[in-house]
Amino acid sequence: MHRPLRALLVVLGVAGLLAAVVFFLQMPWIGSIWPWPTSRLSNIFLSSILAAASAPVLWIGLSGELAAITGGALNFLATYGGMAIYAAGVYLSDTSRGPVLLFAVVCAFFAAVCLTLLLWARRLVFHDNRPTPRAVRISFAVFIVVLLLAGGSLVLKRSNIFPWPLGPEQSVLYGWIFLGAALYFTYGVVKPVWGNAVGQLLGFLAYDLVLIIPFLRHFATVKPELRINLTVYTAVLIYSGLLAIWFLFVNRSTRFTSGKSEAVSDAP
């Protein structure tokens, strides 16, 4: 019944991963996708976001765990909605920036699609309803706090949040990305079943894999006043990556090869 939707999700997931490659390789036509001031590290960050968004979409399509669409739809609704409103405001203040208006329209369209998906998917039930391990739930709660603090500060254009300098437009847009992700993890806490948590962990793992090497290399050139930011950010990447690897690929009760009937070892 849901085969066409699953196929579409697979196609969208693969397309998103290809877009992530485009940003990571700094291809010259990035500007046609992202009409904002950018830099090498910012392009790599956007690559990590695209990878983080696409990995769960691809997994949902392949696995058929369509109830997991709800958390992703919440995430993208907040991100695209916030970006659309901000981009529209930027355009109204300078109507010569036509690409920004197009960006606002595209973001508004995707926000509307996400709202539709949210209203549809919230009635679905998870096939894998094993309880999410306690360590994952606690980690998600910590991630929520960090993302809300960082995202709110970025939207308010506070300086020295990232490990490299950001312009005011970048700051607001990245802030909405973080606030959307906070909603994603919030849904993981509110709906603590394993079929829901897998998407969050896959997204974080993809995000970590894209960023970890560039961040480690950035220690050689980071500005002294931003070194603490880079250190904290890198520590979060390492922790979240290890968390995802452990529960997705190592832990007997939750790894992809385990049966759904097995109890989660450290669940209450």
Q: Alpha-carbon distance 200 to 122, whole Å?
A: 17
Task: Pick the more confident residue, 264 or 14.
Answer: 14
**What residue has token string 């992703």?**
72
Q: For residue 151, what pLDDT is reported?
A: 97
Q: For residue 1, what pLDDT is reported?
A: 59
Residue 239 CB contacts under 8 Å (≥ 6 apart), including other chains: 139
Q: For residue 221, what pLDDT is reported?
A: 95
Closest CA to 91 of 102, 80, 106: 102
Strand, coil or helix: 131: strand
Closest CA to 76 of 67, 84, 64: 84
Residue type, position 41, single letter = L
DSSP-derived letter for residue 254 is T
Q: Is the pLDDT of residue 89 over 60?
A: yes
3-state helix, strand, coil in the chain (%, to 5): 75, 0, 25
Q: Alpha-carbon distance 61 to 25, whole Å?
A: 27
**What residue has token string 């995202």?**
151
DSSP-derived letter for residue 73 is H
* Residue 36 tokens, joined: 């904002």
Q: For residue 260, what pLDDT is reported?
A: 56
Q: Where are the domains of the chain?
A: 3-250
Strand, coil or helix: 45: helix
Q: For residue 83, what pLDDT is reported?
A: 98
Task: Render pLDDT for 5-34 as a digit per residue (tens, 0 to 9).
Answer: 999 999 999 999 999 999 999 988 787 789
Report yes or no: 28 and 43 within 8 Å, Cβ to Cβ.
no
Q: Alpha-carbon distance 197 to 130, whole Å?
A: 10
Closest CA to 128 of 254, 225, 10, 1: 254
Report yes or no: 200 and 254 within 8 Å, Cβ to Cβ.
no
* Residue 84 tokens, joined: 């659309």
Closest CA to 253 of 125, 140, 133: 133
Task: Render pLDDT for 144-180 as a digit per residue (tens, 0 to 9).
Answer: 999 999 999 999 999 889 999 999 999 999 999 999 9
